Amino acid sequence: MDIIRYVKSFIFSKYHHRLLFSFLICTVLPIILMGSILYSITHKIAGDSILNSIILADDQLNIRINNRLNQVQKISDTIRYDMYSLINRMPHNSEDFSILTNVRDNIHLLESTFNVYHIDIFLDDKNIASSEGLTFHPLYDLKEFDLEDIVSMDSKWIYKPNYHLSYVLDNTGKTQNVTGYVSTLNNQVTKNTEYAYIVLLNISEFSDMLNESFSGIDLSGFIIDSNGNIISHTDEKLIGTKLDSDILNIISSGNKTVYDNKSLYYHVVKLDNGWYHVTEIPKTYIYSNVYTILKTFFLIIFISIPIILLIIFLTSANLTNRIRKLSFAMDSFKLGKKSIKLDYLTSINDSDCYDEIDRLGLTFLNMQESINKNMQSILELTVSEEKLKYQLLQSQINPHFLYNILGTIKTCQTIGKLDIANHMIDNLTRFYRMSLRKSGEKITIKDELEISRLYLEMEQLCRKDTLTWSIDTEDGIENYLICKFTLQPFLENSILHGYSTGHRNIHISISVYYGDDEIIIIIKDNGCGIEPEKLTKIKYQLQNHIVDYTQHFGICNVNKRISNKEFGSGEIIIESCLNEGTTITIKYAQMEGDN
């Protein structure tokens, strides 16, 4: 009872254990049950499948054999036309030799084209062709070739062991076991044979087909005629022998194609010429393959079960781990505290892969982020809204800049340089007119560059031509929008902090070009640069969107504004080297104006 209580407590104490136990019950038990059932039926199914596969291979072989036999018969039919011209046009020795040449060429062409062993033609000895001696022979040579019975036999197909060709055709002197298709013509009146010919095939051709079909497997096959003579066999030693009468009776006893004879199955197919193609299938071969299939099946089962268990364990662990983390995050969340992250969501790159638990976690993250953001926004807006507006106006209309410009104008008037004074007054007027006329938060890049140019011209007059600049833009980019007063604070910093004893001349280059669905602006100067400690502090303020009202307010204020989605979700990157200069890179999403 204690063991049962312990097992019950272990299973139901944790959700992970319950899930794992349920998976095991729903997977392992069906596998074991299925394996037991399959074991009982696989033996017969596998045996039948193996036997059917052998029969299917046999059928393909039978098609090849029948095609070859039918091909020989068609060759024989083709020769019949030549024989007609031969016996009707050449009854005497002195007549047309061209016919003989034609017929002989046709015969040789058929032999080479269809790869037959040989074609022997027997004619009346009065026919001039009968003396040719290679392909054409006199009828009385049938006895010499041991073929005298072909003129009276019923079967068209014969089997001849140890058949030999003349020395001219085969100088090896070896005999061959051949089979041939016989055609004869007997005179209806006199009953005398007018001609006989035989199209010969080498028995090795059929043996090669049999051996090729049974290559690599423990099966044997043979071809027999209706009398039980083995015409071809996978074992060459048995070619020419006679099949056992008991087996022959079994094979020719009925219309079945598969016969069971103790330790063997016989698959029997009657060929188109009346012969039989027989395949011997040992039962041990079928059983050995069945056992191989069973061993393979159980090996797969034994391999798959640990894999399934591992997958079940990992899946259940992953599932319960995500539920546990989500539960902990919900318990730990408190208003006003830093948002709690769910690390398993950040590891998934594709949102389409989220399941219900992931979406629940995502909803929780969005909820706490929205709550914290709203609370933070309320607090920040309440405290700093008016202060930010005031500081923004102070950065836009710099009293030191205005004081310097007015002082320079007064000096120019005093010393009589009225044209310079008038030029500065004109630029100052245009600068504030354009600044105040563009009341929106976003203006075109063209207007922003015009404001920057006016500012630089006024600074140039104040600096006595020690300031130069260049502006480079890509075609059409000036019509896109930009957050108002984005460039002027950076230009002001380049001028105010760029001059030193070693840098009495400042050149500022402004480049505006397209990025990937974004606008990129680079402001580069050759001033004295920024000290490393100060540069590190500025980068930290920019990366964390901190606005310090006592230091670097201008560039931090711009960074805070353009990072907003309304102004392109932009960013500002500052790089600087002492005594070499400073480079400002501004990136933000392309914003098009209303048409």
pLDDT tens profile 100-117: 888 888 888 988 899 999
User: What distance in Å separates the CA atoms of residue 495 and residue 492, rounded to the nearest whole number?
Assistant: 5
> With contact defined as beta carbons under 8 Å apart, do 255 and 267 qualify?
no
User: What distance in Å separates the CA atoms of residue 315 and residue 29, rounded to the nearest whole number?
Assistant: 19
User: What distance in Å separates the CA atoms of residue 562 and residue 565, rounded to the nearest whole number?
Assistant: 8
% residues pLDDT > 70 (the chain):
78
| Listed residue (507, 427, 496) closest to 468, CA to CA | 507
pLDDT at position 394, please? 42
Phi, then psi, of 161 in degrees rounded to 5: -80, 155
| Listed residue (50, 522, 76, 475) closest to 294, CA to CA | 50
Neighbours of 254 (CB within 10 A): 9
Residue range 313-329: mean pLDDT, rounded: 71
Calculate the alpha carbon distances from 447 to 124, 437, 564, 579 in Å.
117, 11, 21, 32
Calculate the alpha carbon distances from 84 to 199, 389, 531 in Å.
17, 120, 116
In the sheet that holds 118-123, the strands lie side by side as 136-138, 118-123, 193-202, 176-186, 157-163
pLDDT level of residue 339 (50, 70, 90 thresholds)? low
Residue range 90-108: mean pLDDT, rounded: 72
User: What distance in Å separates the CA atoms of residue 467 and residue 460, rounded to the nearest whole number?
Assistant: 5
Residues in contact with 511: Cβ distance below 8 Å, sequence separation at least 6, in sequence order: 472, 473, 521, 522, 524
Residue range 400-415: mean pLDDT, rounded: 73
25-39, 170-184, 331-345, 564-578: the lowest-pLDDT one: 331-345
Question: Which amino acid, 246?
Answer: D
Neighbours of 278 (CB within 10 A): 23
Question: Which amino acid, 272?
Answer: D
CATH 3.30.565.10 segments of the chain: 397-589
Structure tokens at 563: 């990072």
Q: Is 199 helix (H, G, I), strand (E, B) or coil?
A: strand
> With contact defined as beta carbons under 8 Å apart, do 207 and 239 qualify?
yes
| Listed residue (440, 420, 508) closest to 469, CA to CA | 508
User: What distance in Å separates the CA atoms of residue 457 and residue 434, rounded to the nearest whole number?
Assistant: 15
Res 509 pLDDT > 90: yes
> With contact defined as beta carbons under 8 Å apart, do 138 and 122 qualify?
yes
Res 390 pLDDT > 50: no
pLDDT level of residue 391 (50, 70, 90 thresholds)? very low
Question: Which amino acid, 352?
Answer: D
pLDDT level of residue 351 (50, 70, 90 thresholds)? low
Phi, then psi, of 517 in degrees rounded to 5: 60, 30
| Listed residue (519, 520, 540, 538) closest to 576, CA to CA | 538
pLDDT at position 346, please? 57
> With contact defined as beta carbons under 8 Å apart, do 431 and 455 qualify?
yes
Residue range 160-171: mean pLDDT, rounded: 79
Residue range 158-169: mean pLDDT, rounded: 81
Residue range 244-251: mean pLDDT, rounded: 79
163-172, 221-230, 315-324: the lowest-pLDDT one: 315-324
Give the single-character DSSP code of 503.
B
Q: Please name the fold of domain 397-589.
A: Heat Shock Protein 90 (3.30.565)
pLDDT at position 513, please? 92
pLDDT, tens only, 417-467: 777 778 878 877 877 777 666 556 788 888 888 888 888 887 787 777 788
> With contact defined as beta carbons under 8 Å apart, do 567 and 588 qualify?
yes
> With contact defined as beta carbons under 8 Å apart, do 497 and 459 qualify?
no
Residue range 543-547: mean pLDDT, rounded: 81
195-199, 341-345, 468-472, 570-574: the lowest-pLDDT one: 341-345
Res 345 pLDDT > 80: no
Residues in contact with 459: Cβ distance below 8 Å, sequence separation at least 6, in sequence order: 467, 491, 495
Place of tokens 């076991």: 177
| Listed residue (583, 391, 396, 582) closest to 488, CA to CA | 396
Q: Is 93 helix (H, G, I), strand (E, B) or coil?
A: coil
DSSP string for residues in 229-265: BEEEESSGGGTT-B--HHHHHHHTSSS-SEEEETTEE
Q: Is 269 helix (H, G, I), strand (E, B) or coil?
A: strand
Q: In this predicted model, which residue has the larger pLDDT, 61 or 420?
A: 61
> With contact defined as beta carbons under 8 Å apart, do 467 and 495 qualify?
yes
Segment holding 282, helix H or strand E: strand 276-282
Neighbours of 249 (CB within 10 A): 11
| Listed residue (420, 558, 577) closest to 485, CA to CA | 558
Structure tokens at 144: 């010499």
59-63, 123-127, 394-398: the lowest-pLDDT one: 394-398
Res 411 pLDDT > 70: yes
pLDDT at position 199, please? 92
Question: Which amino acid, 141?
Answer: D
Q: What angle (nearest 5°) sits at the alpha carbon of residue 419, between those of residues 493 and 434?
A: 50
Calculate the alpha carbon distances from 552 to 414, 525, 541, 564 in Å.
36, 18, 9, 19
DSSP string for residues in 97-129: HHHHHHHHHHHHHHHHHHT-SEEEEEE-TTSGG
Q: Is 146 left (phi over 0), alpha (psi -120 to 50) or beta?
A: left
* Chain centroid to CA 413: 80
Residue range 276-294: mean pLDDT, rounded: 76
Q: Give the chain's mean pLDDT.
A: 78
Segment holding 163, helix H or strand E: strand 157-163
Res 406 pLDDT > 50: yes
Phi, then psi, of 116 in degrees rounded to 5: -90, 155
pLDDT at position 341, please? 63
Res 269 pLDDT > 70: yes
